[in-house]
Amino acid sequence: MEIFNLTVREYEKNLRLDKYLSEQLKDISRSYLQKLIKDGAVAVNEGSQKSNYRLQSGDCIRITIPDDMQPDIAAEDIPLDILYEDDQLLVVNKAKGMVVHPSAGHYSQTLVNALLYHCGDSLSGINGVLRPGIVHRIDMDTTGALVVCKTDLAHQSLALQLQEHTITRRYRAIVLHNIKDDIGTVEGPIGRHPTDRKRMAINHKNGKTAVTHYRVLERFGQYTYIECRLETGRTHQIRVHMASIGHPLLGDAVYGPAKCPYHLQGQCLHAMVLGFRHPITEKYMEFTAPIPEYFNELLQKFR
């Protein structure tokens, strides 16, 4: 069983309950959330409400997601942009809007569904049936390079490299406002937000060490185009760190302004460069995922 506690903020009032939950719990389908509401698994201020309830600022919502029977994850013929593949692993360029692995109420159209179709039984089983081959992940609305393991040996090797912080991960991002310094480092432990279960935050009490290095690529006055290099890999690390210094990512409604003038689908963040030692040859390999079209269009507009 998994429990989420959410508090409605001022700019979120008047949203329907089911729409609000679908925006907060993006890995769970709206239809499944509506079922949870109908079944009494969602409490608003400790009482029950219907899906069409209009939220008020300060409403406290508690969602209880029951443990499911272990589902059969279906292989689905979903196109993959494969940057590299051999008998141990593959590197994919994940599309925007694609969830990496299945979760409660969201068991289709994920990267794992596509991988099962493409690889068949050739995926590592260390992370179980819901996350075969998945050794790390990127957010649904983040694009870019992701390594997938076909064998347990590859999985163990890549997991160790992640633990030792020896994997190269360089991201491209567009952030709000003009960053003063050309280069910089953000350090701050990241953990769960104390009151909002779906958000991460700088958490000195319960957070884990997190370090992000950035450098400015171009300045556009209201926005800055940057490269970020991860020294650690915490959930939402770049999004939290850049917001903490007053430069949230463009399009990031969770850690930045609720409204975006460019009608974007989430944050402008792209995992561009991924490098690691091959689990068999131990040769260092590095892959570059091209900047997505929407990102390039924004850059051209700002220029």
Q: Is 121 a catalytic residue?
A: no
Nearest alpha-carbon partner for 268 in 300, 231, 235, 296: 296
First to last CA, the chain: 49
CA nearest 34: which of 45, 55, 46, 49? 49
For 66, other C-beta atoms within 10 Å of its C-beta total 10
Asked whether the beta carbons of 271 and 138 are under 8 A apart, the reply is yes
| Residues whose CB falls within 8 Å of the CB of residue 247, separated by 6 or more in sequence, listed in order | 175, 176, 177, 179, 224
Rounded to 10 deg, the angle between the 17-24 and 30-38 helix axes is 130
**63, amino acid identity:** I
Catalytic, out of 18, 59, 139, 252: 139
* Catalytic residue IDs: 139
